[in-house]
Amino acid sequence: MKIIVCKDAAEVAARAAEIMQAVVCEKSDAVLGLATGSTPLGLYHNLIDAHNREGIDYSHVTTVNLDEYAGLPADNDQSYAYFMRHNLFDGLGIAPTQTHIENGMATDPAAECARYDALLEALPRDIQLLGIGSNGHIAFNEPGTSFDTTTHVVDLKESTIRDNARFFASMEEVPRQAFTMGMKQIMDAKQILILATGEAKADAVYGMVEGEVTTALPASILQTHPACTLICDEAAARRLTNV
Ligand code: F6R
């Protein structure tokens, strides 16, 4: 794993934008695997800014997202579909038909997972962007998830529900289940870019980089990916001994 430690979150966002833009500049019809959450917001802001200033063209890219809450329609402002449209796709001028995310309202979850598996198979990702949960989850693959998983529905752990409650009016409103891309599919991306900022991620980052590869800390599998880059700030890197 290549590790880049930056001074702060703004520098993480700037370095991450350079990497994402390089992928798109090299291949205008790149397939981008994308994430939601607070960590990538600075990166997304920078991509939109550079698109507006320098005209970097995203009209031919295709995107696939990691995950979506079960039970939230795409027009709910807490859904990940809504998040992506408002924080990235509209700003980059990416047509909705070129963006993909699980359907949180699917009435047949197994069929929805099979649909997304087929989609991921048909759209090999040039890069997969990830954040990391404070418990080491990637996408919604919580501790204990097998490394062989494909798209599936998960019961969110109490710690994840608590972490995500800040986006909702109350804890009770946080969905208890989500659709998520599986571990195997994350690892299938040609390149992985994982971002981590803030003190609250320091233990997870340490486990991911210097701990054993174990399903108890899902992100630790990234040690075995041939082209994975971690960009983190000094607070998240605090426990690393080897950088
Ligand atoms: C989001 C996702 C999650 C987040 C993780 C970190 O699509 O898959 O794994 O990346 O929970 O979230 P933030 O960035 O809000 O700390």
Q: Residues, the chain, total?
A: 243
Q: How far is CA 81 from CA 99, 142, 144, 159, in A?
A: 9, 21, 27, 23
CB 93 within 8 A of CB 99: no
Say if ligand 1 is within 6 A of residue 131 CB.
yes
pLDDT at 159: 83
Q: Which residues contact 124 (CB under 8 A, 6 or more apart)?
A: 31, 188, 189, 190
Token readout for 118 is 């087929």
Provide block-wise average pLDDT over 10 residues at a time, the chain (243 residues): 98 98 98 97 98 97 98 94 98 98 98 98 98 96 96 91 88 94 98 98 98 98 98 98 85
* Phi (first) and psi of residue 236, to 5 degrees: -75, -25
Among 24, 90, 99, smallest CA distance to 54 is for: 24
pLDDT at 12: 98
The counts of H helices and E strands in the chain are: 8, 10
* Phi (first) and psi of residue 9, to 5 degrees: -65, -35
Q: Which atom of ligand 1 is nearest to the CA of 37?
A: 15
Q: Which atom of ligand 1 is nearest to the CA of 130?
A: 10
CB 174 within 8 A of CB 189: no
Tally of CB atoms within 10 A around 92: 19
Q: Which residues are catalytic?
A: 67, 135, 137, 142
pLDDT at 164: 85
- Please identify which residue in the block is written with the tokens 């809450």: 69
pLDDT at 189: 98
By most ligand atoms within 8 Å of CB, the mutation choice from 12, 34, 36 for ligand 1 is 36
Say if ligand 1 is within 6 A of residue 133 CB.
yes
- Residue 136 CA to ligand 1 center (angstroms) comes to 10
Overall pTM surpassing 0.85 (yes/no): yes
CB 39 within 8 A of CB 196: yes
pLDDT at 157: 85
- Residue 36 CA to ligand 1 center (angstroms) comes to 6
pLDDT at 78: 93
Say if ligand 1 is within 6 A of residue 139 CB.
yes
pLDDT at 166: 87
